[in-house]
């Protein structure tokens, strides 16, 4: 028994890992920049960088040392001079071959490099430069790096030379931002002849090779930290803890009332199988399940709450506020459940042990309620347990329509405001619960079905 | 022997159909036979010829849809089973007529202990008995070792042979007048088959009940049955005393079945079945249903279905040419 | 069980499919549902033509034409023709006539921007079908190929594919779809991917189970003995025998995809600027509270009947195809 559970828990690990991987791929890889998605294009690069910094999005993806930074807007000058647009002495040279378009920096000038914001303190960077520089000229990055000696701050001039090359050449030039990077004041001096630049990129160095988004994410999860909502600025774990109560208050009654009704009706169907009543229930069930969930909610709220005034329309104050959502939840799910349990019951009805029970002289009721139901219970119980994770996620629509501050409501709000951390957390927890519920089902299976043994 | 008092159950022109009324599958299409007190009868035929349906019909056990009792009567002590009240029927099932089915592992309810399942029959028909002791007694009767401990086993914890013994114990619980054993050994290992048949034979003698043994293997019934009914495509094509039918079959189908029995003692023993398959019930041949496979087929067989013809008293054949066989 | 069935059917010269079709044809409800599905398909195609035509000619299609004067017109069958008589003056009679003909142009009334609800409903059908078809084209191949491979090759391949689909199955469905749609963005593409990439799991699981059953069958052994390649065996020999699973899955999948699209559009993820049923419901929701019900009614009824038809048809097809369940009816 213990061995079995232990082994099943081990087997859960790949699945949980898979779920983590999928959420990671979904939000960190596919989604482009979560910061942009969340905050939009109208905020300063510095704010985006802060967003990324908090969430580890400014690190290399899985492995690596160098990651993009928003300090300098990456530009390949294909269309225009990019960040250099406003800088005096810089001209954009469009080439017939778009890939060879470049900017030209006139000689004998010093250019302040158009950084979006000062680089972060104490970090290493590197420039990647694709350029052309004739032998007549020279160019170098120059920056004043403040160095404090006791109370005295002095500036040391640092210089990185760019070697000349009359063909397009790519080099990387590492440098260190000091303790007070706003004093960094980085410039590019060009002497003798112009320098032509085809691409220019600034990358930030991660602390070590494992200092990546993925590791950051895993470590965050290991700390049971699910991130921070950028909308409410609250830790997501706290939001979830607050939301789960209202969600359960809604979903648990829906689930059990629905289950009870579905099983009772399915037993009636099985008892009177192939009769008029059975057929009527089946048509009813299919009709019920063909009505969209949305329609149940919209029309139910309009008719029962607004028109007839039987229930409150919106809010979460007393129990009465839950009544209508629960009714709608039960009815909208009833069709599917009834059909499912009827199939389960009828499947059992055609088993051979049922014939034996009849041959013993048992009545239909006895066969149904004793023999069939006990066998069907195996399926019912597994189904109950597997539903647990869905109880947790709450009901997205019901909650947001009726203003029940649960996880479903939170989820919809998060989707609307692109609150990455919240969605990611709800998805993750839901998945982990599902995996756990699966384990629990297997154990319960062995518990209710004598044929199954945990080995 | 052929007196009315000796007859326990009489089936007259029974018809059981499946599916919708307009285009039914005629699984049992007008069969008549009787079962005598204390006798063993055998119902023999290939798979799909309607043996199980016939057997189930005896206690009106064919599920109703999809089954339809399309005609005929089944007299049990003068009462028509097909017209009985549900209450009377329940009293009869398991008490007067009981069943042993083909696949014991599927026929026992997997989630109840076997003690409970045996006791259930007693609980239904014999209130007031000490059910536990009685169950142990029954299990001893059918040769289950260590019955007191076995009571608490689940069916899957027993071997196939033991499961079938449990089925038999259940069937015998109320000392029925008729035990219907529907291919009781088909699902079992060959070695176990003989044991179970032996058990049935000895119990039949000891308890003096009638047994209807259903099988597709004529060889099995040779030593056991008093009477044999050979079924083909929902009809009885030959019926009579075992020695007559087995030694001088008067229907080509019976011959074919006999040839299909592997003879272990004979040197020339070879497995010779009947060519072809049982006809599709949705697509029955004209005339004699056996004609497409019959080596003695003639024109008339295709045109006209033969009627029951009496070979001798109590020996019927449904072949135009039974005389020539 | 099935080999037997197929075997026997071959003898009588009837394939499993022909057999199922003949059974289906006798089911009047199923035939009616099939008719409804065909009707919707026709409407969707008409919608597509209208859409393309207007795009080609670069004119605003009627379902986008706003006209504030015709705001909130009720369905024309509700308008009494005698209403014209109220216009006493002769000059206004003409006005009334044009008014009436205007009204007749909107059989199901207009919405808050004076757009024709009927036309929008047709476009909604078009979008629903697009979603149903495209997501099926994404999900069914993934499910079939992965399911076949897992079932056929077993071992490592099986472990890997089972791992993938357990992982996918673990993630709460609707949220997963929402998240994918949100991350991918870009209107319908996000919807396609969201639904398509999550809904293959069930089919994959079913196909895998069926293939495992068939792998041991004599005909597969025979194919091996003939030295046929794995892919030939999978796709030419096994797949046709398990294809009924795909058909049944499709009939369940299609209405589910349509419903999900409605849901996503309703939430404002998905189609933009085009009249999906979800958007119609979303727009009509608040107007419903002012007693303007026809837009809501149009979208929900259209949605209801297609989903119902597919559900009933799916049941009938399953009953006709699955020999095990045949006795059940
Ligand atoms: N539940 C059922 N539904 C439909 N047809 C059935 C059912 N049970 C039996 N039949 C039909 O009755 C025929 C005879 O079946 P059965 O009596 O079980 O044969 P057997 O002689 O092998 O016991 C079968 O060919 C089948 O077509
Ligand atoms: Mg049988």
**B268 pLDDT band (50/70/90 cuts)?**
very low
Cis check: omega of the bond before A235, within 30 degrees of 0: no
Mean pLDDT within A284-304? 86
Which one-letter DSSP state was computed for residue B202? H
pLDDT at B21: 67
Mean pLDDT within B73-90? 87
A chain contacts of residue B92, beta-carbon cutoff 8 Å: 361
Q: Which residue has the higher pLDDT, B251 or A117?
A: B251
The number of beta carbons lying within 10 Å of the beta carbon of residue C219 is: 15
Domain A82-205: CATH architecture, name and number where available: Sandwich (2.60)
SS3 A391: helix
End-to-end CA distance of chain C: 18
Question: Ligand 1 atom closest to Cα of B231?
Answer: 21
Nearby residues of C150 by Cβ (< 8 Å), 6 or more positions away? C157, C158, C161, C162, C204, C208, C211
| Contact state of B280 with C327 under an 8 Å Cβ cutoff | no
Model confidence over B37-63: pLDDT tens digits? Answer: 888 999 988 888 889 999 999 988 888
C chain contacts of residue A285, beta-carbon cutoff 8 Å: none
**A183 pLDDT band (50/70/90 cuts)?**
low
| In the predicted structure, residue B1 carries a pLDDT above the cut 50 | no
Long-range contacts of B244-249 (CB under 8 A, 24+ apart): B244/B311, B244/B312, B244/B315, B245/B315, B246/B218, B246/B222, B249/B325
| In the predicted structure, residue A378 carries a pLDDT above the cut 90 | no
Question: Which of A63-72, A347-356, B186-195 is least confident?
Answer: A63-72
SS3 C243: helix
A chain contacts of residue B135, beta-carbon cutoff 8 Å: none
- Tell me the average pLDDT of chain C: 80
Which ligand places an atom closest to the C-alpha of B46?
A: 1
Model confidence over C260-271: pLDDT tens digits? Answer: 888 888 888 877
Q: How far is the CA of B281 from the centre of ligand 1 (A)?
A: 9
Q: Does A451 touch chain B (CB under 8 A)?
A: yes
Q: A82-205 with A236-448: one CATH topology?
A: no
pLDDT at C128: 92
Q: Chain A neighbours among B 81-120 (CB < 8 Å)? A: 86, 90-95, 98-99, 101, 103, 106-112, 120
**B129 pLDDT band (50/70/90 cuts)?**
confident
* Whole-angstrom distance, CA of residue B4 vs CA of residue C37: 64
Question: Which of A73-82, A313-322, B73-82 is least confident?
Answer: A73-82
* Whole-angstrom distance, CA of residue B18 vs CA of residue B60: 14
Residues in chain B: 325
> What residue's CA is closest to ligand 1, atom 18?
B52
Model confidence over B189-215: pLDDT tens digits? Answer: 888 888 888 888 888 888 889 999 998
SS3 A331: helix
pLDDT at A451: 78
**C35 pLDDT band (50/70/90 cuts)?**
very high
| Contact state of B277 with C11 under an 8 Å Cβ cutoff | yes
Q: Which of C6, C4, C13 is nearest to C244 (CA)?
A: C6
> What residue's CA is closest to ligand 1, atom 5?
B18
User: Where are chain A's structural domains?
Assistant: 82-205, 236-448
| In the predicted structure, residue C86 carries a pLDDT above the cut 60 | no
Q: What are the DSSP calls for A273-311, one per residue?
A: TTSHHHHHHHHHHHHHHHS-HHHHHHHHIIIIIIIS--S
Mean pLDDT within A111-136? 79
**Chain centroid to CA B29:** 16
pLDDT at C242: 84
Q: Does A279 touch chain B (CB under 8 A)?
A: no
Question: Which of A379-388, B30-39, C195-204 is least confident?
Answer: A379-388
Q: How far is B233 from chain A (nearest CA, A)?
A: 23
Fold (topology level) of A236-448: MetI-like fold (1.10.3720)
Q: How far is C42 from chain B (nearest CA, A)?
A: 35
pLDDT at B180: 92
Q: Which of B197, B235, B199 is nearest to B213 (CA)?
A: B197
C chain contacts of residue B280, beta-carbon cutoff 8 Å: 8, 12
Question: Which of A152-166, A244-258, A358-372 is least confident?
Answer: A152-166
Q: Which of C159, C163, C169, C170 to mutate to test the interface with A (most CBs of A within 10 A)?
A: C170
Q: Which residue has the higher pLDDT, C84 or C104?
A: C104
| In the predicted structure, residue C158 carries a pLDDT above the cut 50 | yes
Region of A82 (left: φ > 0; alpha: ψ -120 to 50; beta: rest) is: left
Question: Ligand 1 atom closest to Cα of B183?
Answer: 23
* Whole-angstrom distance, CA of residue C299 vs CA of residue C285: 11
SS3 B58: coil
On whether the pTM is more than 0.90, the answer is no
The number of beta carbons lying within 10 Å of the beta carbon of residue C84 is: 15
pLDDT at A59: 79
Mean pLDDT within C106-123? 78
Q: Which of A400, A244, A339 is nearest to C263 (CA)?
A: A400
The number of beta carbons lying within 10 Å of the beta carbon of residue B167 is: 28
Burial A390-425 (b: 16+ CB within 10 A, else e): bbbbbbbbbbbbbbbbbbbbbbbbbbeebbbbbbbb
Q: How far is C236 from chain B (nearest CA, A)?
A: 29
Q: Which residue has the higher pLDDT, A67 or B105?
A: B105
pLDDT at B212: 92
Q: Which residue has the higher pLDDT, C4 or C25?
A: C25
pLDDT at C93: 61
Q: Which residue has the higher pLDDT, A18 or A116?
A: A18
The number of beta carbons lying within 10 Å of the beta carbon of residue B27 is: 25
Model confidence over A17-63: pLDDT tens digits? Answer: 899 888 888 887 776 677 777 777 777 777 787 787 777 777 777 77
Which ligand places an atom closest to the C-alpha of B47?
A: 1
| Contact state of B120 with A451 under an 8 Å Cβ cutoff | no
Q: Which residue has the higher pLDDT, C213 or C78?
A: C213
Mean pLDDT within B286-293? 81
> What residue's CA is closest to ligand 1, atom 12?
B27
Q: Are C268 and C260 in contact (CB under 8 A)?
A: no
pLDDT at C4: 39
pLDDT at C305: 93
Q: Which residue has the higher pLDDT, B180 or C227?
A: B180
**A434 pLDDT band (50/70/90 cuts)?**
confident
Model confidence over C51-80: pLDDT tens digits? Answer: 888 888 888 877 777 777 767 766 766 664
> What residue's CA is closest to ligand 1, atom 19?
B48
Q: Are B129 and B122 in contact (CB under 8 A)?
A: yes
Q: Does C91 touch chain B (CB under 8 A)?
A: no
**A261 pLDDT band (50/70/90 cuts)?**
very high
Q: Which of A179, A140, A186 is nearest to A163 (CA)?
A: A140
**A153 pLDDT band (50/70/90 cuts)?**
low
Which one-letter DSSP state was computed for residue A370? I
| Contact state of A397 with C263 under an 8 Å Cβ cutoff | yes
């Amino acid at each position: 028994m213990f061995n079995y559970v232990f082994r099943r828990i081990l087997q859960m690990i790949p699945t949980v890992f898979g779920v983590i991987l999928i959420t990671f791929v979904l939000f960190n890889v596919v989604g482009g920049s979560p910061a942009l998605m969340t905050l939009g294009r109208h905020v300063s690069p510095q704010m985006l960088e802060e967003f990324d910094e908090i969430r580890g999005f400014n690190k290399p993806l899985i492995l690596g040392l160098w990651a993009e930074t928003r300090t300098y807007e990456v530009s390949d000058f294909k269309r225009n001079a990019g960040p250099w647009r406003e800088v005096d002495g810089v001209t954009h040279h469009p080439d017939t071959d778009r890939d060879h378009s470049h900017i030209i920096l006139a000689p004998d000038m010093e250019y302040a490099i158009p950084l979006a914001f000062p680089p972060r303190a104490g970090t290493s960077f590197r420039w990647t430069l694709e350029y052309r520089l004739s032998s007549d000229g020279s160019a170098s990055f120059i920056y004043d790096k403040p160095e404090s000696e006791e109370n005295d701050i002095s500036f040391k001039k640092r210089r990185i030379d760019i070697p000349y090359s009359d063909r397009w050449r790519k080099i990387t030039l590492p440098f260190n931002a000091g303790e007070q990077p706003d004093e960094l004041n980085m410039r590019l001096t060009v002497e003798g002849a112009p320098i032509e630049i085809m691409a220019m990129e600034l990358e930030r160095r991660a602390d070590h090779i494992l200092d990546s988004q993925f590791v950051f994410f895993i470590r965050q999860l290991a700390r049971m930290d699910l991130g921070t909502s950028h909308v409410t600025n609250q830790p997501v774990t706290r939001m979830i803890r607050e939301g789960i109560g209202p969600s359960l208050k809604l979903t648990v009654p829906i689930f059990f009332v629905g289950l009870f009704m579905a099983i009772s009706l399915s037993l009636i169907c099985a008892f009177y199988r192939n009769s008029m009543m059975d057929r009527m229930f089946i048509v009813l069930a299919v009709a019920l399940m063909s009505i969209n969930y949305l329609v149940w909610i919209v029309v139910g709220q309009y008719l029962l709450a607004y028109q007839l005034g039987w229930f409150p329309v919106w809010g979460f104050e007393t129990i009465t506020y839950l009544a209508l959502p629960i009714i709608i939840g039960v009815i909208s799910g009833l069709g599917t459940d009834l059909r499912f349990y009827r199939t389960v019951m009828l499947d059992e009805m055609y088993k051979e042990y049922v014939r034996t029970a009849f041959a013993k002289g048992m009545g239909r009721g006895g066969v149904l309620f004793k023999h069939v139901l006990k066998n069907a219970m195996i399926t019912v119980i597994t189904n109950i347990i597997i539903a647990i994770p869905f109880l947790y996620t709450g009901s997205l629509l019901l909650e947001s329509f009726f203003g029940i501050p649960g996880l479903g409501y939170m989820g919809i709000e998060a989707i609307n405001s692109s609150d990455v951390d919240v969605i990611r957390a709800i998805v993750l927890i839901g998945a982990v619960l599902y995996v756990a519920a699966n384990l629990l089902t297997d154990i319960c299976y062995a518990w209710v079905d004598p044929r199954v043994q945990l080995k | 022997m052929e007196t009315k008092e000796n007859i326990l159950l009489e089936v007259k022109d029974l018809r059981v159909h499946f599916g919708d009324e307009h285009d039914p599958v005629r699984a049992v299409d007008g069969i008549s036979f009787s079962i005598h007190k204390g006798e063993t009868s055998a119902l023999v035929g290939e798979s799909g010829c309607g043996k199980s349906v016939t057997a189930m019909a005896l206690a009106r056990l064919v599920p109703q849809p999809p089954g339809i009792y399309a005609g005929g009567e089944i007299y049990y002590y003068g009462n028509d089973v097909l017209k009985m009240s549900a209450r009377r029927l329940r009293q009869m099932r398991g008490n007067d007529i009981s069943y042993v089915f083909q696949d014991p592992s599927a026929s026992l309810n997997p989630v109840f202990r076997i003690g409970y399942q045996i006791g259930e029959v007693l609980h239904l028909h014999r209130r007031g008995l000490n059910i536990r002791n009685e169950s142990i007694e029954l299990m001893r009767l059918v040769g289950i070792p260590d019955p007191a401990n076995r009571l608490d086993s689940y069916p899957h914890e027993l071997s196939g042979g033991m499961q079938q013994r449990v089925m038999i114990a259940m069937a015998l619980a109320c000392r029925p007048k008729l035990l219907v054993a529907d291919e009781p050994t088909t699902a079992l290992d060959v070695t176990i088959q003989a044991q179970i048949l032996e058990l049935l034979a000895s119990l039949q003698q000891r308890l003096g009940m009638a047994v209807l043994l259903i099988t597709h293997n004529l060889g099995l019934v040779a030593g056991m049955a008093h009477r044999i009914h050979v079924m083909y495509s929902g009809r009885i094509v030959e019926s009579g005393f075992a020695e007559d039918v087995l030694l001088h079959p008067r229907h080509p189908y019976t011959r074919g079945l006999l040839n299909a029995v592997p003879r272990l003692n004979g040197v020339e023993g070879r497995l010779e079945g009947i060519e072809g398959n049982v006809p599709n019930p949705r697509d029955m041949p004209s005339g004699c249903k056996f004609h497409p496979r019959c080596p003695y087929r003639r024109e008339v067989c295709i045109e006209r279905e033969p009627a029951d013809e009496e070979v001798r008293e109590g020996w019927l054949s449904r072949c135009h040419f039974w005389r020539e066989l | 069980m099935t080999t037997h069935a197929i075997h026997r059917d071959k003898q009588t010269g009837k394939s499993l499919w022909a057999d199922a079709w003949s059974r289906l044809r006798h089911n009047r409800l199923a035939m009616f549902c099939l008719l409804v599905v065909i009707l919707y398909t026709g409407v969707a195609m008409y919608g597509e033509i209208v859409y393309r035509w207007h795009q080609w000619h670069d004119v605003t299609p009627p379902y986008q034409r706003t006209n504030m004067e015709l705001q909130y017109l009720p369905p024309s069958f509700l308008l009494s023709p005698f209403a014209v008589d109220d216009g006493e003056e002769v000059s206004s009679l003409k006005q009334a006539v044009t008014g009436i003909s205007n009204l007749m142009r909107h059989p199901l009334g207009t919405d808050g921007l004076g757009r024709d609800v009927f036309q929008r409903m047709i476009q909604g059908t078009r979008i629903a079908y697009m979603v149903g078809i495209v997501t099926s084209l994404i999900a069914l191949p993934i499910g079939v190929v992965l399911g076949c491979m897992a079932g056929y090759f077993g071992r490592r391949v099986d472990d890997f594919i089972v791992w993938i689909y357990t992982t996918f199955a673990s993630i709460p469905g609707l949220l997963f779809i929402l998240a994918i749609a949100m991350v991918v963005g870009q209107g319908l593409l996000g919807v396609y991917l969201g639904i398509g990439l999550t809904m293959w799991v069930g089919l994959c699981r079913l196909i895998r189970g069926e293939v495992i059953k068939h792998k041991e069958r004599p005909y597969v052994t025979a194919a091996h003995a003939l030295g046929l390649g794995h892919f030939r065996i999978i796709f030419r020999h096994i797949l046709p025998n398990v294809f009924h699973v795909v058909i049944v899955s499709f009939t369940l999948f299609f209405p589910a995809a349509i419903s999900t699209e409605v849901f996503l559009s309703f939430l404002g993820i998905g189609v933009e600027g085009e009249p999906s049923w979800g958007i119609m419901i979303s727009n009509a929701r608040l107007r419903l509270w002012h007693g303007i019900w026809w837009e809501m009614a149009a979208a929900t009824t259209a949605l209801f009947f297609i989903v119902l038809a597919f559900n009933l048809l799916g049941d009938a097809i399953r009953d006709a195809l699955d020999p095990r369940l045949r006795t059940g009816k």
